[in-house]
Amino acid sequence: MAGWERKQTDTDKGIVIPDNWPGYPLDLFTFPEHYSEDLDCVYIPHGVIMDRTERLARNIMEDLGDHDIVVLCVLKGGYQFCADLVDCIKVLCRNSNKTLPMRVDFIRLKSYLNDQSTPDLHIEGAENLSGLSGKNVLIVEAIVDTGKTMKTLLDHVEAFRPKMIKVAGLLVKRVPSGTGYLPDYVGFEISNRFVVGYALDYNEYFRDLNHICVISDRGKQKYKI
């Protein structure tokens, strides 16, 4: 895709979207009419998300195939990515000489107020993770920005003594305050813009948007709490 860079490194950073990427005009795509004045652009179209997710599923299958895993979905923003990733892995299992038996569990994190990450991290479901002991765990998260939330979650999960932990993140943000943490499997590396859609929300709105979009200032004001 014009203007996008694909970096090949030992640690896969995914598709790197540069800071000057303007996104696509809204009128090139379909989206719910009630968001017509709440978005600046389509940042990553749904079809591109799905193609990249399929590639991540193949990478995971190559690395973890023939091992039982527990997929730990981080709610709420990660539910769509997790569902599509699991579906892609299931397709590969049906058409490959490898198999990847999976069970899916859920955990909910909340660290945002409006468009700002807060130091207070609320974890729901952490007390029910005793079943991870001795298991291979794949944490699936929609977005990693500073990396602090993910590191806190990893500390929680490690306390249950799993055999192995891998992390798949659809989006990794380049932020000045970042810790440098990078998931094992990355969909896209993006600039420090507030994005919504594909289950990513702004105060619970925009989860019903298929594409990943940049929210407008009007949208932030409209749904601010």
Specify whether the CB–CB gap between 168 and 140 falls below 8 A: yes
CA dist list (Å): 214 to 3, 35, 111: 17, 11, 19
Residue 105: active-site member:
no
- Residue closest to 167 by CA, chosen among 187, 142, 140: 140
- Residue closest to 27 by CA, chosen among 12, 42, 43: 42
Half-sphere exposure of 166 (CA within 13 A, CB side): 20
Of 145, 184, 208, 217, the active-site residue reads 145
**Phi, psi for residue 118 in degrees, rounded to 5:** -110, 160
d(CA 222, CA 206): 12
Catalytic residue positions?
145
